[in-house]
Amino acid sequence: MTPTTTPRRPGSRPGLAVCACLAFVACSTVSPPAHDPLDAGEWRSAKSRMYQDLARQCLQAEDHERAQRLLQQAVQFDAGDARSLELLAQIAQSGGDLATATSAAQMLLRLQPESVAGWCTVGAVAEARNQNDAAEAAYRRALAATTTDPRPAIDLHRLLLAQGRESEAAALRDRLTTQFPRLIEARLDHGAHLAAGGHWGDAATAFEAALAIQPDDAGAATGMALGAIMSNAPATALSLSDRLPPRARIENPSLQLTLAIAHLQEGNCDAALRELELTDPVLADRVSLRVLRGEILFRMQRLDAAQVEFERALALAPDTARAHAGLGRILLLQKRHHAAVRALQRAVQLQPGNRASQALLTAALAATGDLDAARRQLATLRRLADAGALVAELERLHPGLAAPEARR
């Protein structure tokens, strides 16, 4: 029997489908692999960005130390990420890690030779090392590299002020005002410089100029108020009460403290106490606020309440000289003379140049009957500048303290 065969279609070839499959397999084995989004380079860049994002979160939480560690890890994964290098340089420099700041800035400048952040960091490090010529050169290099970033001009302005180059600083301040009319950093630096030199009235004027540009700026408001009370112009400080919303004062304990002092300068203890009572409860337990509240209550003759404030301040910070002095003054009025001596001795140890504390300690020692110790303390008071009136009053109140020739 003849075997049957399947008829072949015209033009077909045996095994064509197999050959096609083999050809496809062969081609697929020699073609390049599909792009892997997690190849080594991209994986390292992704890790770098992840660490950078985590560092930003730490910065928002004010955890600068951890932010720096995360940025160092980011740079290890991708040394070509300019933003990580910028952040690392700035954080390290502000934290005093000058070696890390320098290294990051140098890496950044190799990537971007005209990097403003890089040159500003180099300048800041040089300034921290008292290399003022190098700092100025770096700031001017950064200044030449940009017309849109005010940082180099602000840094250079601060350096010029520190060197006493007032006219150059003023010219740069005018340039900044023209280029960046809403910017107040240079005005704040100018106010701080004047305050540091004891020119409190001029400092208040400088801060007020900044406040005119940015009415809600807490630093400008506090600087203006402080300059005003230090130049014995409490009304100028208190004008801020009408210009600022209550929330701005409540959220700024330093400003509230200053305004309370301004009320005290005007002799209005009730208003001073009300100012402090507005404080956010979270911030109300600050030592400075406790001490001032104690002093206000003392002036109001609310001695028990004042004592509570001073004692709370000492529980928070045992080496607060004003709190020891305030407590000693209350104990002296309560005729608890030995306790008063202990409190005032600590106040004098912490602030030997405080004439009032020295005088109170002399009075407390005399009240205990220890005239020899009181005379020694009075001799210490005599050596302090401008203590003559206090010495005379103590000798009037306690004749036994006077020098022998004066008692004859």
User: pLDDT digits over 125-182, tens only?
Assistant: 999 999 999 999 999 999 999 999 999 999 999 999 999 999 999 999 999 999 999 9
CA-based Rg of the chain, rounded to a whole angstrom? 36
Cβ contacts of residue 80 below 8 Å, gap of 6+? 111
- Tell me which amino acid residue 235 is: A
User: pLDDT digits over 38-65, tens only?
Assistant: 444 454 555 556 655 665 666 565 666 7
Using CA atoms, how far apart are residues 92 and 244, in angstroms rounded to an integer? Answer: 36
Please check whether residue 293 is in contact with residue 276, taking contact to mean a CB–CB distance below 8 angstroms. yes
Q: Report CA torsion sign: 319, 323, 328, 329.
A: positive
Please check whether residue 283 is in contact with residue 276, taking contact to mean a CB–CB distance below 8 angstroms. no
Q: pTM value?
A: 0.70
User: pLDDT digits over 215-261, tens only?
Assistant: 888 899 999 999 999 999 999 999 988 788 767 777 788 888 899 99
